[in-house]
Structure 1
């Protein structure tokens, strides 16, 4: 993971500024501080490692979370200040996740773990890796010989199954409401449903859901 931009995604506050300075001094590469708004304006001309500070970010689904998922070919993530009970499903929502640190982790362990991640290693307990593998094996295929959904159609159906309106889906995916209607029309034809209720039921039975 050399030659990567390293960014701390957090709110702009004293604690996050101190965290940024500590990480920059301890890890070598300079760490930049970004928030939910400035993140979406970043120029992704180099791969990036995003340190997601969950303690200082909203805990509900937000548009910037979907934006991160859309940038999965350019970024890797590490979660900071997670709850002790984080699940494999929740962890796998984050693009190319390389590790996580709970809110009670001491400074020495945090620096050691992040240094390992920067060397290209994972900082995930063996038990969690097994849980992640079992979860991935349990997911039903999202395409069949007769149904081939695009990645964006899958995103839209997943959000629809989480009871999002067309306006909310459009905001999360940074597209127009007309575009969402077009995706839904094409997806409905592919999965052979006639309305949103049927589409929700199909998605919940056939697609891995994003956990809120």
Structure 2
């Protein structure tokens, strides 16, 4: 993964600063520390590898989390300090995930794994790869020959399914309410529904990453 920005997404605290310095010294490329409030203002035109420090970030449909998951190109992710119980479904929600490290991994394993990732390899246990494959084989496809939703339309429908209002969706995706209305109008036409209730029911049946 040459010529990529490498960022540690965490909170601004002494622990995160020490981790950033350790990784920079051990891995070679300079690593930028960004927090959940500032990283949205970064210029994403250049490819980036995001090291997501889950132990020091608020999660579960936070604005920064939804913003990051909206990217499909130019960004790859590695999850740090994951829970032991992370599932294939949760792992696949992150854009271009290259690996994950649980909270009990030792420093040597972390550095060795991230070194592999920076060379373009994945650091995912075989058992998880099998689970991911089985999950992908079991889910209903998001698109059919007649329905092709954009990644942003999928994000909006997922949030709608979680009971969010247009204003709340706009705030979480960092766009205007008018933009959300436009996404919903286009999505409703594609999935052939007439209202939010029908759209919510459709999303629960057809969006594999729905987290109800």
- TM-score bracket for this pair, using the shorter chain length: over 0.9
**How many angstroms does 1:57 deviate by?**
0.2
Output one character per residue of 1:122-167: Cα deviation in whole Å (capped at 9) or x when no partner.
Answer: 1100010111111112221222233333332222112111222211
Structure 1 stretch 117-126 or stretch 42-51: which is displaced more? 42-51
**TM-score using structure 2 length:** 0.94
Q: Is 1:86 matched up with 2:86?
A: yes
Contact 2:53–2:80 under 8 Å retained in 1: yes
Aligned residues: 212
- What are the equivalent positions in structure 2 for 1:82-121 lying under 5 Å apart? 82-121=82-121
**How many angstroms does 1:173 deviate by?**
1.9
SS at match of 1:100: strand
**How many angstroms does 1:210 deviate by?**
4.3
Contact 1:141–1:206 under 8 Å retained in 2: yes
SS at match of 2:41: coil
Decide whether aligned partners of structure 1 residues 154 and 45 sit closer, same or farther in structure 2, where only a CA change above 3 A counts: closer
Q: Is 1:189 matched up with 2:158?
A: no
Q: Is 1:176 matched up with 2:197?
A: no
Moved over 6 A (4+): none
Contact 2:7–2:34 under 8 Å retained in 1: yes
SS at match of 1:135: helix
Number of the residue aligned with 1:12:
12
SS at match of 1:146: coil
**How many angstroms does 1:102 deviate by?**
0.5
SS at match of 2:33: strand
SS at match of 2:81: strand
**Runs (5+) with no aligned partner, structure 1:** none
Structure 1 stretch 179-188 or stretch 132-141: which is displaced more? 179-188
* CA RMSD between the two structures: 1.6
**How many angstroms does 1:51 deviate by?**
0.4
**Runs (5+) with no aligned partner, structure 2:** none
**How many angstroms does 1:70 deviate by?**
2.7
Output one character per residue of 1:173-211: Cα deviation in whole Å (capped at 9) or x when no partner.
Answer: 221112212222232233222321211111110112244
Contact 2:70–2:151 under 8 Å retained in 1: no
**How many angstroms does 1:8 deviate by?**
0.5
Structure 2 CA distance for aligned equivalents of residues 63 and 152 of structure 1: 14
Number of the residue aligned with 1:131:
131
Number of the residue aligned with 2:147:
147
Contact 2:81–2:102 under 8 Å retained in 1: yes
Number of the residue aligned with 1:39:
39
